[in-house]
Structure formats: structure tokens, C-alpha cells
Amino acid sequence: MDMLRAEKIRFDYEYEGEPAVTVLNGLDLAVEKGSFTVILGHNGCGKSTLAKLFNAIRLPTGGRMLVRDLDTADENNTLTVRRTVGLVLQDPDNQLVSTIVEEDVAFGPENLGVPPEEIARRVTDALAAVGMEEYRHHAPHKLSGGQKQRIAIAGILAMQPECIVLDEPTAMLDPQGRREVMETIRRLNREQGMTVVLITHYMDEAAQADRVVVMDEGRILRDGTPREIFAQVE
């Protein structure tokens, strides 16, 4: 079963008084439920735009983006789509909103109207999933970059998505922070069966996935296992 499916996706950025800039042009991509997919590509190839299309932060200019067969362009599907697909951004500071870790993790489910006793359970489970239980009463701004990113991931997990999309979550981290975040991502996929889409520049991170998709100029250039992709040196 496909968790995500892009069908002939086109996306144009429009600036007042300027010609539209096409960043995705006829892109087709299906992501299977429970898989771990990495998307690679140079800056400006459309990776981050695609990530935002996956959970309806942006809507396609043409074609269809489907989440569990729900069209993201249908406003009636927006809440379900965003509950199904959680998005983690590059800079964790942009996703941390509270002065205490557990309050930050609770923010998402509170906005979904989850009952308080259920929120408490979700916060505990989410912090355990990222190995940050002992920091629940700490101030997020005093944590390391890797710890902050794990808290940002916990905040998404507390909303109980079926799929998590991570847009270069380790780009601003030191090697230790990168290891912490990648261990968390692998554990979510392998132990909880969560569908993971990771956008990254790091080849060592891509090598840990089931599948690697290489983008170039708004299209899919290569698609295969890490071994198949990395065998094509050019």
C-alpha cells in the first residue's frame, strides 16, 4: 500500500511582476507504507518543496499529491493529511515553542483537541521513543542541537502520524547530533514500522535507507536501493 503518491506533480513559485519559476515538473513518486526512503539532490532541485507538498503545507500547481489516497488539494482532507504526515524541518529552533520540553511535545496534540490524560501518555511515549525522557523538565534552549532535533521529532510523534518526513534534519548538527537523530529515525522505522522519508545531503545517511531517490531539476533522476544508486558513480 502506498502511503504517499505524487502523480505528475508540477509546482511553480510565483513572484509579483516576475515570470513563474517551475521547481517540480511532471514528478511521479510512490512511497510504500512502512518503508524508509531517502531523497537526494543538489540545492534547488525541489526536495524541500516536495516535502511541504507531502503534508499540504503547499499544494501542487498541477498533478495530484495523494496521502493514503486522499487528495491534498481537497480542503476537506487537510486535517487528516496533516495528522497522517508529520514534517520535521532543518532548524529545530523553528519548531520549538515552549520553555519546558514536555510542554513543547504536548503542543501538537493540544492543538488537535486530544484529552489531557491522553496528551500526558503521548508525551511520555514520544519522549521515550527519542530517548529524551530524562529531559522532560528541561528548557529546550539549553539542549544541544541533536537533543533539540530529537525533541522536535518527539513533538511530531505525539500527534501520532503514520508517516514522518524529515527535511535535512541533521544539516545544522555536529557529528554526535547527527548520530543521535539517525539512530532515532532508524528505530522509528524498524521498531514501530513508521513510514520515513528523509531528505539529506549526506551519503552515509542515505546508505541506511531501504531506497534512495535522486532528484534533479524537479524530476526523478534515479530510484533504487542504496547499493544500486551508489554503484552509479557519475
pLDDT digits (tens, 9 = 90+) for 82-137: 999 999 988 888 888 899 999 999 999 998 889 999 999 999 999 998 989 999 99
Decide if pLDDT at 234 tops 70.
no
- Supply the angle between the helices 116-129 and 145-157 in degrees, to the nearest 10: 140
Q: Which three cell numbers stand for residue 222?
A: 534515479
Burial (CB count <10 Å: 0-12, 13-18, 19+), residue 12: middle
Decide if pLDDT at 179 tops 80.
yes
Residue 108 CB coordination number (10 Å): 26
CA 222 to CA 153: how far, in whole Å? 28
Decide if pLDDT at 166 tops 90.
yes
Dihedral angle over CA of 186, 192, 194, 197, nearest 10: 0
Give the pLDDT confidence score for residue 36 in this predicted structure.
97
CA 7 to CA 5: how far, in whole Å? 6
* Contact criterion met (CB below 8 Å) for 181 and 169: yes
Give the pLDDT confidence score for residue 10 in this predicted structure.
95
pTM here is: 0.91
Helix (H, G, I), strand (E, B) or coil at 216: strand
CA 128 to CA 122: how far, in whole Å? 10
Give the pLDDT confidence score for residue 233 in this predicted structure.
67
Residues comprising the chain, all counted: 234
Decide if pLDDT at 151 tops 90.
yes
Span 42-47, average pLDDT: 88
Mean pLDDT of all residues belonging to the chain: 92
Decide if pLDDT at 9 tops 90.
yes
* Contact criterion met (CB below 8 Å) for 64 and 89: no
- Going by their DSSP bridges, the two strands 85-88 and 163-167 should be labelled as parallel
Tell me the sheet residues that pair with 31. 4
Span 196-204, average pLDDT: 92
Decide if pLDDT at 4 tops 70.
yes
Q: Which residues contact 125 (CB under 8 A, 6 or more apart)?
A: 157, 158
Q: Which of 26, 34, 46 is nearest to 164 (CA)?
A: 34
